[in-house]
Every structure is written in structure tokens, then in C-alpha cells.
Amino acid sequence: MRFSTREDIEAPIEAVFGAVTDFDGFERQALRRGAEVTRQDTTGKTGVGSEWQVKFAFRGKQRELDARITEFDAPNGYRIDSRTGGLEGVISVDLLQLAPQRTRMQLAVDLNPRTLSARLLVQSLKFAKGTLNKRFSTRVWRFAQGIEDKFHNVG
């Protein structure tokens, strides 16, 4: 199952890349929402090999997700592979400079079930795909607006 969207952002590609690679900020957001986030690699730098373990509650159960950056091409994007239970996921962020102050961000999430229970979960998500895709697109749009606001208020 795939969710994808794209947004054109009124900011240079370097500013957008900085925002989409603010993993410390993403960790803080997850912590505020009740998740436990543990950085697994020891380098402290963001790039290929950076990995996290996230524990969170979903549908009444405690879940554990392992995520690892598998591709990192500054300032053009990155890819994160993740696994939770029998569900594997890939998040890809691709950036394209359209003009010196305009960047296109393409964001995609692919979910691949590997067990029967994961297949049932993905099947139930397919029934609500329209609603979920709209929520996904709205969140990405808000994130893009935040990047623009931050860039224009700072710059």
C-alpha cells in the first residue's frame, strides 16, 4: 500500500532539506505524543546507518518499530526502511530545486505486509485509503507551510 504526495515550497532546497532532516525535532514530537524513542547508532550524525527504535501504543497494543536510514543524498533526499511486527515500510523523501527560492518535495510511504495479521491491517487500511490519503496530504501540506513560515520569518 502506498501513500504519496508532493508540495511546492517557497524556500531554497537547503532550507527544505534542513527541515526534513531535523530528526531531533521529529524525536521530540514523538516523545510529546507518548512514544519512546531510542537512537540505536552511536555516531550521532545523521546519514546512512542512522537508526532508531520507537515504542508506541497503537490500537490498544504496545508496538515497537525499528527504522534505519538506507539512502542519504544531501540535499536531494533520503530513504528510511522500517519494520514493526510483520509490517515493513519505506519512507522516501525526494527534493527537487525548481528555482533558487522554490523546492518541490515528494514524500511517499510504502507499506508491505509480511504476516497474515499485517495483511489484515493493510486490508483494513485500504477501505479507508481515501480518508487516510487526505489526512496524509494535509499533514504534509502543514509541514510544508511550516517550512515556508520559518524560512520567511528567519530570512
Q: Residue 147 — very low, low, confident or very high, per pLDDT cuts 50/70/90?
A: very high
For 27, the enclosing helix (H) or strand (E) is helix 23-32
Q: CB–CB of 58/49 below 8 Å?
A: no
**Average pLDDT estimate for 66-86:** 97
**More confidently predicted of 68 and 85:** 68
Q: At what angle do helices 116-127 and 129-154 cross, to 10 degrees?
A: 80
Number of residues that this document lists for the chain:
155
> Which contacts qualify for 52-56: CB closer than 8 Å, 24 or more apart?
52/23, 52/27, 54/30, 56/30
Radius of gyration of the chain (CA): 16
Q: At what angle do helices 13-20 and 129-154 cross, to 10 degrees?
A: 120
pTM: 0.92
Is 90 exceeded by the pLDDT of residue 137? yes
Is 80 exceeded by the pLDDT of residue 155? no
Cell numbers representing residue 99 in the block: 528555482
**Average pLDDT estimate for 52-71:** 94
Q: What pLDDT digit, counting tens, does each position of 44-58 carry?
A: 789 999 999 999 998
Is 60 exceeded by the pLDDT of residue 75? yes
Q: What pLDDT digit, counting tens, does each position of 91-133 carry?
A: 999 999 999 999 999 999 999 999 999 999 899 999 999 999 9
Architecture of domain 2-154: 2-Layer Sandwich (3.30)
Phi/psi for 58 (5° steps) reads -145, 125
Per-residue b or e along 4-41, where b marks 16 or more CB atoms closer than 10 Å to that residue's CB: ebebebbbbbebbbbbbbebeeebeebeeeebebeeee
Domain ranges of the chain: 2-154
